[in-house]
């Protein structure tokens, strides 16, 4: 009898928790019905496109409301990376895939070590190409995933979840914070558990989706905008952008060679042929060519200045000029 009573209590508790969770989910802005897309299935292709476009137009305004928090996060990330720390993204489903996209684009864009910006997605790499949705409910898997990265006070860990209530991500952020890392939440609902768990909460309140609950849409767009801003802002603060030019690109194909030549034309005041010749003399490395041109030094001197400045072109130019003046 006692066992039956215990089972009944557990069943009641589970049922009650499930009802509470369902009710909480329905209250979220990202889960509500969007009246602008009522009877979407009866619309023409052009009408559907117009409705989605009109809703997408609201995303930038939602992100704008979180600019102060985004700036806070940029400063945290720049400070962490400057002292040899890492930026670690963590998310599930769409949020995890968007995190992966931003992370893997940093090395080719800014010529930084792949270990500098990393990502964790629930379900592992296989989840990038197929849904592994059950894992997002596991706090234990979230803790284990971030524990493998061994976060420290040098790192910044950014949790991404449209709802702001994903157990996997919340557990990971709490673990990282407990181990000294600075933490950031990127969410699309205010006053969320994930937002409360992090040092900085970035909230892009995009409202209900065109297809109710499909947070790959406006919420996903907002998340991508925010992550792009975080990494671009931090890398720019660290000197991996010269003016507004992507100077640390790798000239691995014809398009990138031409882009590099164009950068040299703009920054060094060279014509197309001279810029091509300079890039070749620099071994195809745009930063080396820029330092050579702006500081009037040799390839080896430019490379040495870049090494000393940890790849920061503007600082390398200054160092190379000083070195050149000292020698003369």
Residues taking part in catalysis:
105, 136
The residue to which tokens 């009877």 are assigned: 39
Mutual orientation of helices 254-268 and 272-281 as an angle, nearest 10°? 110
Alpha carbons within 13 angstroms on the beta-carbon side of residue 295 total 30
**Are the CB atoms for 133 and 161 separated by under 8 Å?**
no
For residue 113, the SS3 value is: coil
Closest Cα partner for 73 from 154, 161, 185, 173? Answer: 185
Give strand pairing partners of 156.
Answer: 87, 182
Which tokens go with 7?
Answer: 């089972």
Start-end of H helices in the chain: 2-27, 45-56, 59-64, 67-82, 93-110, 139-147, 167-178, 193-197, 218-237, 254-268, 272-281, 286-295, 299-308, 313-327
**Are the CB atoms for 181 and 152 separated by under 8 Å?**
yes
Which tokens go with 89?
Answer: 């993204």
Between the alpha carbon of residue 277 and those of residues 81, 157, 163, 286, 289, the distances in Å are 34, 43, 53, 12, 10
């Amino acid at each position: 009898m006692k066992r039956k009573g215990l089972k009944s209590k557990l069943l009641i508790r589970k049922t009650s928790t499930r009802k509470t969770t369902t009710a909480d989910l329905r209250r979220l802005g990202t889960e509500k019905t969007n009246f602008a897309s009522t009877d979407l299935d009866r619309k023409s292709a052009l009408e559907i496109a117009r409705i989605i476009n009109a809703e997408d137009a609201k995303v930038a305004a939602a992100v704008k409301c979180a600019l102060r928090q985004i700036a806070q996060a940029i400063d945290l990330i720049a400070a962490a990376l400057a002292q040899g720390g890492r930026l670690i993204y963590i998310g599930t489903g769409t949020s995890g895939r968007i995190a992966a996209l931003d992370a893997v684009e940093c090395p080719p864009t800014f010529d930084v070590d792949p270990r500098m910006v990393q990502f964790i997605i629930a379900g592992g790499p296989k989840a990038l190409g197929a849904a592994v949705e059950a894992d997002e409910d596991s706090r234990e898997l979230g803790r284990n995933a971030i524990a493998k990265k061994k976060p420290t006070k040098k790192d910044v860990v950014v949790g991404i979840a449209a709802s702001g209530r994903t157990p996997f991500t919340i557990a990971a952020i709490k673990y990282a914070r407990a181990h000294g890392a600075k933490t950031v939440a990127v969410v699309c609902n205010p006053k969320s558990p994930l937002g409360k768990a992090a040092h900085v909460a970035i909230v892009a309140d995009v409202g209900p989706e065109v297809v109710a609950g499909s947070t790959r849409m406006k919420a996903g767009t907002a998340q991508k905008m925010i992550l792009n801003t975080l990494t671009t802002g931090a890398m720019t603060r660290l000197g991996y952008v010269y003016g507004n030019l992507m100077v640390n690109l790798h000239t691995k194909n014809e398009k990138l060679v031409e882009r590099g030549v164009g950068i040299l034309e703009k920054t060094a005041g060279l014509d197309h042929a001279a810029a091509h010749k300079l890039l070749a003399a620099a071994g195809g490395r745009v930063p080396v060519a820029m330092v050579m041109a702006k500081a009037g030094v040799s390839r080896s001197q430019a490379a040495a200045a870049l090494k000393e400045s940890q790849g920061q072109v503007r600082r390398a130019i200054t160092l190379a000029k000083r070195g050149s003046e000292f020698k003369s």
